[in-house]
């Protein structure tokens, strides 16, 4: 599947004062927060907010992450954070991310998340309802704006 045809979701994040360092540049670790915002907003847009995932007895912790910084984001920038569905494994899944500002690429990255039983803390198979949600991610559409 072509990258432009991959299921994707875009939301916006404004760089707040608290997100920046002394130079007014978005602090490097906050890009992982921006990625999390995209994941949580995706679930909400699909009709299953993260609170519902937890109510069903699951946690979705990040177990691996990578970020590549290309250009700085600065205080008050309005960023588009696009999440692209990646590999689905038996008990984990991946998302790729692109962060842009007015069409200019700022940051790319990816995360791998595990599906964990909230009671035991052990990894479990992705439940069918979560796989069904991932199938509903739109292809090459910008939703959640």
- pLDDT, one tens digit per residue, over 75-93 is 999 999 999 999 999 999 9
pLDDT for 68 beyond 80 = yes
pLDDT in tens, 11-39: 999 999 999 999 999 999 999 999 999 99
CA-CA-CA-CA dihedral for 126, 62, 102, 16, to nearest 10: 130
The fold for domain 3-135 equals Thiol Ester Dehydrase; Chain A (3.10.129)
C-alpha dihedral sign at 88, 89, 90, 93: negative
- The yes-or-no verdict on residue 139 having pLDDT over 80 is yes
Looking at residue 139, the DSSP 8-state letter turns out to be B
Average pLDDT over residues 137-142: 69
How would residue 143 be classed by pLDDT, with cut points 50, 70 and 90?
Answer: very low
């Amino acid at each position: 599947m072509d990258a432009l045809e991959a299921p994707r979701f875009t939301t916006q994040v404004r760089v707040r004062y608290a997100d920046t360092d002394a130079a007014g540049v978005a602090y490097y670790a906050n890009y992982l927060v921006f990625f999390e915002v995209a994941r949580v907003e995706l679930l909400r847009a699909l009709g299953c907010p993260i609170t519902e995932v937890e109510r069903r007895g699951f946690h979705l912790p990040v177990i691996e992450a990578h970020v590549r910084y290309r250009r700085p984001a600065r205080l008050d920038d309005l960023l588009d954070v696009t999440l692209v569905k990646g590999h689905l494994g038996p008990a984990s899944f991946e998302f790729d991310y692109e962060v842009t500002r007015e069409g200019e690429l700022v940051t790319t990255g990816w995360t791998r998340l595990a599906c964990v039983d909230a009671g035991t803390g052990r990894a479990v198979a992705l439940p069918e309802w979560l796989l069904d949600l991932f199938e509903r991610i739109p292809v090459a559409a910008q939703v959640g704006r």
